[in-house]
Amino acid sequence: MIFRNSVEILESDGLDPAAVAGRLDELRNRLRGEVKRAEGKLANDGFVANAPAEVVEAEREKLERYRAELDELD
């Protein structure tokens, strides 16, 4: 079972909802870029074949983490 959290941003004097939404968009875009970069690395047979196993595994873990963070934001 997957639970999705949703956050409602309420307007207040100390919080600008548009600024928060903009920062979240920037974060999503950065994460999408990291996912694309990691997918590209892992799709490169030369990288996977020549890099030490721990480096390849670390890249797979990063990709998984980036995807999870992006899923939480969407």
Residue boundaries of the structural domains of the chain: 17-73
Tell me: pLDDT of 1 over 50: no
Q: Tell me, what's the pLDDT at 20?
A: 85
- Mean residue pLDDT of the chain comes to 88
Rounded CA-CA distance 63/40 in Å is: 10
DSSP 8-class letter at 11: -
Q: Tell me, what's the pLDDT at 12?
A: 66
Tell me: pLDDT of 5 over 90: no
Overall average pLDDT of the 8-24 stretch: 78
Spatial CA neighbour of 66 closest among 44, 49, 41: 41
pTM, full prediction: 0.76
Rounded CA-CA distance 73/21 in Å is: 11
